[in-house]
Amino acid sequence: MPSDPKKSRLVGVFAANVKQYRVDLGLSQEELSEKAGLHRTYIGMIERCEKNVTIYNIERLAKALKTSAAELLTDHSKAERR
């Protein structure tokens, strides 16, 4: 039974972290997509919680954002970032 990614807390955490790291690095969605080897519209869909990302793509995004997969999956909303 497929589930709606927008209903998953972890998908939301991941989406917020990808966007924050991207912005912190001064990258556009298109630039991030090129670094990660993903389509530019896919990055937007991730950041809007429209996609349930595979582990493979989490790893690709983490490398492109110069961080770890674990860091992208960590909820920073209650703690000071980095």
pLDDT digits (tens, 9 = 90+) for 15-59: 999 999 999 999 999 999 999 999 999 999 999 999 999 999 999
Check pLDDT > 90 for residue 74. yes
Query: Nearest CA to 63 among 71, 53, 54?
Result: 71
Q: pTM of this prediction?
A: 0.87
The pLDDT, as a whole number, for residue 78 is 72
Check pLDDT > 50 for residue 1. no
**Amino acid letter for position 80:** E
Check pLDDT > 70 for residue 3. no
Query: Nearest CA to 69 among 80, 79, 61?
Result: 61
Domains observed in the chain: 7-68 (1.10.260.40)
Query: Nearest CA to 14 among 42, 53, 40, 41?
Result: 53
